[in-house]
Structure 1
Amino acid sequence: MIRKPVHVAMYSGGASSVYVAYHMLKTYGRENSLLFFANTLWEHEDSYRFMHEVADYLDMEITYRVDGRTPEQVIYDYEFIGNSRLVKCADELKVRQIIIFLEELRDEHDLEPILYFGTGSQEQQMVENLKEFFADFLFEPVETRFPLISTILEEIDIKQIIEKEWGIKLPIMYKLGFSHTNCGGRCVRGGFQYYAQLFQTWPEIYREQERMEEEFRGNFNKNISILKRDEGPLTLREYRDELEQNGLQRYLSFDDNTVPCVCK
């Protein structure tokens, strides 16, 4: 069966994803395009503002999907807290919602989805993982495209284009120094630099993550943590003690290759 193609931007509160959506729309037109957003319920309110202002600029509606659980609830459901290498929250709250949506497009609307990600060449491992996952998707592969690698010149300043040419303020998390906008600063894939930035910017949210980790460790009697050092656990409470004793600056300069979530 030959289905009509539909171009689907994996839309989020990140600058890369919205610029890829813009590029997709210019190439294929609004009538052949969709913006897809899987809501984790943890996003910063300014990220929602940004997504909606960009959608208005593009004259497009956002297709929302929501599991209904927060990442913390997923962590308890699977008794696994997650880290930069492996998470269940993204699998459940983002990837699973994408799968359900793709099945709807094919089975209910006779459409063949082509997915667009705002992932760049600096995240090559994520690109390969996404290609492999959707190539083996159920019984039929789903085509994935990465315009920041294949089409768009990476020399362009996407953030400046959004602010200067589109007239839309970037999400506040960029302004505050975060490398991405996932989950309002509570991303369990964040590393040392990310959590140092969180502690400096929003210490109350850091302590929320610390509370979640401590309660999880106690409830399940597991010696695991979000951060790792020398292949062993380093709790957020222990890391906070280091930050308070040694000063934040040395940790804010770490390049620990924080891994963004699937939609970026």
Structure 2
Amino acid sequence: MERKPVHVSMFSGGASSAYVAYNMVQTHGKENTILFFTNTLWEDEDNYRFMDEVAEYIGLEITERMDGRTPEEVFYDSRFLGNSRLAKCSEELKVYQTIVFLEELRDVHNLEPILYFGIGPHEKHRADNLKDFYEHNPIEPIETRFPMIDTFKSDFDIKSIIENEWGIKLPRMYDLGFSHANCAGRCVRGGYEHYKHLYQVWPHQYLKQEEMEERFRKHFEKNVSILKKDGKPYTLKEYREQILEKLNQDEKHIELRELVKEDGHIPCVCTFS
């Protein structure tokens, strides 16, 4: 029996994925759409407020899946500290949960999922990676769509539409200067620039991540870190004490630029969803 298509918005809690979800519902109808969210349990509380208000505005309940572990617990279970090059937390808490849910749609409900992502033209490489990943899903290929790249050809201000036309305040992480709202600023895929910004605008979150890193190092007696310097571990504690705490007194732009060359270009985003 042929499966009925169902349109699944990969709802991240950001502005772009919210607008894509809205457009998806307008195009295909509520009865043919799903608002899907994978919860890492590290999200900022204001993200949940934003997602609930968006879901109410577009008239869809959020379908949520979670592993039950935090990223830190995944690091302990895998005995591997996530970093800017490899993040097991994304694989376990987002990708795996997504694949299980999609196969449930197929096997239990006889639905064929089509995934929608809020990725823009400036991140086309991410879209290419996602498309390739889901095309080579080991069970069956899964179609992916990227409306911000393929459908909306003109440039428009999504954030303004959400706040001024929908009447929904954006997640506070945008006000704090973050380009996305992943894991309340604690994304291990962040580079030097990301953690510099986190320290400057949300220092208690930086210290949470620093303490998490120190706990892992002590527990496993391993010299590992989220960041790297000269190909070697460079802890958040070292970064704070050697660079960040001195920036207010003496802006060491040259030294910071040298660090950013090594690691700062890596985007702070989850790998596949």
TM-score (norm 1): 0.94
User: Which aligned pairs between 1:30-41 and structure 2 lie closer than 5 A?
Assistant: 30-41=30-41
Q: Determine the structure 1 residue equivalent to 2:121.
A: 121
CA distance 1:139–1:256, shift in 2 (3 Å): closer
CA distance 1:49–1:262, shift in 2 (3 Å): farther
Q: Secondary structure at the match of 1:27?
A: helix
Is 1:142 equivalent to 2:151 in the alignment? no
Q: Secondary structure at the match of 1:114?
A: strand
User: Which aligned pairs between 1:12-27 and structure 2 lie closer than 5 A?
Assistant: 12-27=12-27
Number of residue pairs matched? 263
Is 1:210 equivalent to 2:227 in the alignment? no
CA distance in 1 between partners of 2:12 and 2:119 (Å)? 12
- Residue 117 of structure 1 and its aligned partner are, at CA, apart by 0.7
In the alignment, residue 246 of structure 1 is paired with which amino acid?
Answer: L
Moved more, 51-60 or 126-135: 126-135
Q: Determine the structure 2 residue equivalent to 1:247.
A: 248
Q: Secondary structure at the match of 2:141?
A: coil
Runs of 5+ in structure 1 lacking a partner?
none
Deviation digits for residues 132-183 of structure 1 (CA, Å, limit 9, x no counterpart)? 1111112210001111111113611111111111111000000011111001
Question: Percent sequence identity over matched residues?
Answer: 60
Contact 1:83 1:188 in 2 (8 A): yes
Contact 2:8 2:116 in 1 (8 A): yes
CA distance in 2 between partners of 1:173 and 1:77 (Å)? 29
CA distance in 1 between partners of 2:85 and 2:128 (Å)? 15
Contact 2:3 2:112 in 1 (8 A): yes
Q: Secondary structure at the match of 1:54?
A: helix
CA distance 1:125–1:80, shift in 2 (3 Å): farther
Q: Determine the structure 1 residue equivalent to 2:48.
A: 48
Contact 1:39 1:93 in 2 (8 A): yes
User: Which aligned pairs between 1:1-264 and structure 2 lie closer than 5 A?
Assistant: 1-153=1-153, 155-241=155-241, 242-247=243-248, 250=253, 256-262=265-271
CA distance 1:262–1:163, shift in 2 (3 Å): farther
CA distance in 1 between partners of 2:154 and 2:177 (Å)? 21
CA distance in 1 between partners of 2:172 and 2:157 (Å)? 18
Deviation digits for residues 189-248 of structure 1 (CA, Å, limit 9, x no counterpart)? 111121112112221221111111112112222222111223222110011111011339
Contact 1:84 1:189 in 2 (8 A): yes
Contact 1:118 1:148 in 2 (8 A): yes
TM-score (norm 2): 0.91
Q: CA RMSD in A?
A: 1.8
In the alignment, residue 213 of structure 2 is paired with which amino acid?
Answer: E
CA distance in 2 between partners of 1:111 and 1:231 (Å)? 47
